[in-house]
Structure 1
């Protein structure tokens, strides 16, 4: 039997020291998820398990449709924009995907050859083009992901309005924290001699650079 070390260490970065003993609930909660101590850690572990399951689902979806991650993400953006009545230009798609215009052109050429997208004249700008998903693409995505999306909606619809508001606020706040820049790394007190020497060498190079410039 595989041991789950989260039971002793909490979340993957380690559990925080408790500031006070938690109050005993007046009645048992209907669902506790992973019983790993602190409720906040239980929530984060459940969220991590969801992310792991979602990543596996995305891999299965890509395999089923025979395309890469960027291709699937591009189709998602294009389908959303098409349903909203605001088709995307290749430049719009490049910014959404965070890739270069050249890479976007290659991606669109690939999706055009496979019959998933088509280029069309921009409705208001004659100099521009928009990218549209084909009807076959919409049907393929629905057949691949439709039943899974319905099951997810069933779970979400099982929440009452107060629960839904709480979950939405929590996930929104978590998304904001995950999107925030990382803190700068702290000095590693357990650095190996080789790592410490490497850092010292880097600092020495930076400190001597102005002297060399002055000498020149």
Structure 2
């Protein structure tokens, strides 16, 4: 174990040199994820919301910022939940005053869901200082450092998004 409580080489072997630096990067990334998860838990607790509720608000804020509207089905697809679960989530968020149902602007048979101004203010109040601190850290990077970090995180996302074959399913040529 190192001073931060990380098991050295548990997943990655015990090779010295470059691999040790890479393991340090992965441990720092793991620590960041733990901090981010703790922040999300504090936010959910503070706002008395579940994870899907907060994620729904995020998607609705993004759509509104982009000038798009979201039907309940669109939001359910983004969240990966069933129509019944989406109805329950929307009912809960309407009841709490975080979103509202409105007629679709061009399809009179459809409804859209939008965040309320009060929910926008609540999210900004709850997360504003943390987002400013994060932006300050990212803004302190040089352009070259920002490109390296961005590239690294995109490649890590690709590595995590790749589905590995089950053991024994690999094709042998």
TM over 0.5: yes
- Paired positions, count: 168
Bigger mean CA deviation after superposition, 173-182 or 41-50: 173-182
Relative contact order, higher structure (CA 8 A, sep 6+): 2
1:1-216 alignment, distance < 5 Å: 6=6, 9-10=8-9, 12-15=10-13, 17=15, 38-185=20-167
Task: Confirm or deny: 8 A CA contact 1:116 1:136 kept in the other structure.
Answer: yes
Shift of 1:185: 3.5
Runs of 4+ in structure 1 displaced over 4 angstroms? Answer: 2-5
Task: Confirm or deny: 8 A CA contact 2:44 2:50 kept in the other structure.
Answer: yes
Q: Secondary structure at the match of 1:38?
A: helix
Unmatched 5+ stretches in structure 2:
169-173
Task: Confirm or deny: 8 A CA contact 1:15 1:41 kept in the other structure.
Answer: no
RMSD (Å), alpha carbons: 2.1
Distance of 2:50 and 2:138 partners within structure 1: 29
Deviations 1:47-104 (A, max 9, x none): 0000000000000000000011111111111111111111211011011100001100
Unmatched 5+ stretches in structure 1:
23-36, 187-216
> TM-score if structure 1 supplies the norm length?
0.72
